[in-house]
A and B are shown apart, each in its own frame.
Chain A
Amino acid sequence: MNTVKNDCIDTQYSFKSDFIQALSAVWPVCLGYLPLGLAMGVLGEKAGLSPFQVCFMSIAVFAGSGQFIAISMISAGASAFSIIMTTFMINLRHLLMSSSLSVYFKDVPGKKLTLFSYGIVDETFLVNIDKLKNGQWGINRSIIVNFTAFSAWALSTTTGCYFGKFIPQDAFGINFALTAMFISLLVLQLNGSIYIITALAAGFGAVAVSMIIPGNLYIVIASVSAAAAGVIIKKKVLKSGRI
């Protein structure tokens, strides 16, 4: 287990080079947020929210699917408690991402960790973990990635609230942007048979669980069990040389 001390790397680079590196890693996320954010802004406007209110939610919550569901619950007149509990359940998967990132950020000051953790969402987690695994990446770059994505999200949702209804849906296949990015990140993660086995287990597991349990808890259930199955397979089967 070679965990690189990424925080040491940070001090070798200037803020300018950190910024350039972070931007070149995060731009696909920003592009993908554009259609999603615009759609979310339009939904907010239809639910009677002002651009300020939509912007406030994007800044305070920063959660794609969580915000979509919260807005539809608000317009359906759901209680505050049920909206907050639903948001909690939807965003529980970040618990796993946060745990998984902790391995890479030993000895990083608490303030930086707190700042960084505010911007952990599916997309920033995946971009950062891909870079962290390959070294040459640290907390500063990770923070810039998170806050660039955060700004893109706040900006595109607010814009959607003003102008979203004038913009044609799905121009140039842009609605596929995030899926395409996830596919390329998945390919980059497949570094050996154990990763492929785990990926297939999580993928098919998630499809099966998603059809049984409503909501998006299937992400947590499938990930936790597939990763556990992966560890067991690695220990029992791969060590004995049967694959």
Chain B
Amino acid sequence: MEEYKYILIVLGMGLVSFIPRWFPLFYLSRKQLPDIIIEWLELIPVSILSALLFPALFTKDNPKIISLVSPETAAAIPTFIFAWITRSIGGTLIAGMFFYWAAGKFIFT
């Protein structure tokens, strides 16, 4: 691919990635939103987290199929318990890496 074409594609990608990030924050932070919308927005982070996490853990392949037994799910359960008890992000990250490594080493060999 020619250099200039690559640069144009990437700049186009950058623009369409930036606008959805910038516009709501810039516009909505200057508005007084109705309470019901604020309550809805309060539930967005937990929803996005689950929507990212569940398919990553419980599905595989493309198109996706259900897959409940994998090193990911085997590691996810102790990781969740560890997070629940310690409530530490960094600690959970290290513990989760260990559980995943151990699952690959000892269970899914």
- Interface residues, chain A, CB within 8 Å of chain B? 1, 3, 25, 27-28, 31-32, 48-49, 53, 56-57, 60-63, 66, 70, 74, 80, 83-85, 87-88, 91-103, 105-106, 108, 110, 113-114, 116-118, 120, 122, 125-127, 129-130, 170, 172-177, 179-190, 194-195, 198-207, 210-211, 214, 218-219, 222-224, 226-228, 230-231, 234
The CA-CA distance from A48 to B6 in the complex, in Å, is: 12
Task: Please name all residues of chain A whose beta carbon is closer than 8 Å to the beta carbon of B11 when the two chains form the complex.
Answer: 60
What's the minimum C-beta distance from A171 to chain B, rounded to whole angstroms? 9
Q: B47–A198 contact, CB under 8 A?
A: yes
Task: Please name all residues of chain B whose beta carbon is closer than 8 Å to the beta carbon of A234 when the two chains form the complex.
Answer: 39
Q: A28–B90 contact, CB under 8 A?
A: yes
Given contacts A61-B13, A118-B18, contact A211 B46 (CB under 8 A): no
What's the minimum C-beta distance from A177 to chain B, rounded to whole angstroms? 6
10 contacts between A and B (CB under 8 A): A60-B13, A66-B13, A103-B28, A117-B21, A180-B79, A181-B93, A187-B92, A200-B50, A203-B51, A223-B48
Given contacts A32-B93, A175-B100, contact A186 B50 (CB under 8 A): yes
Which residues from 33 to 49 on chain B have a C-beta closer than 8 Å to any C-beta of chain A?
Answer: 33, 35-36, 38-49
Given contacts A63-B17, A179-B53, contact A99 B97 (CB under 8 A): no
User: Residue of A at shortest CB range from B26?
Assistant: A113
Task: Please name all residues of chain B whose beta carbon is closer than 8 Å to the beta carbon of A120 when the two chains form the complex.
Answer: 21, 25
Q: Which of A25, A60, A113, A172 has the most CB of B within 10 A?
A: A60
Q: B44–A97 contact, CB under 8 A?
A: yes
The CA-CA distance from A226 to B52 in the complex, in Å, is: 13
Given contacts A99-B41, A179-B56, A187-B83, contact A83 B9 (CB under 8 A): yes
Q: Which of A63, A176, A180 has the most CB of B within 10 A?
A: A180
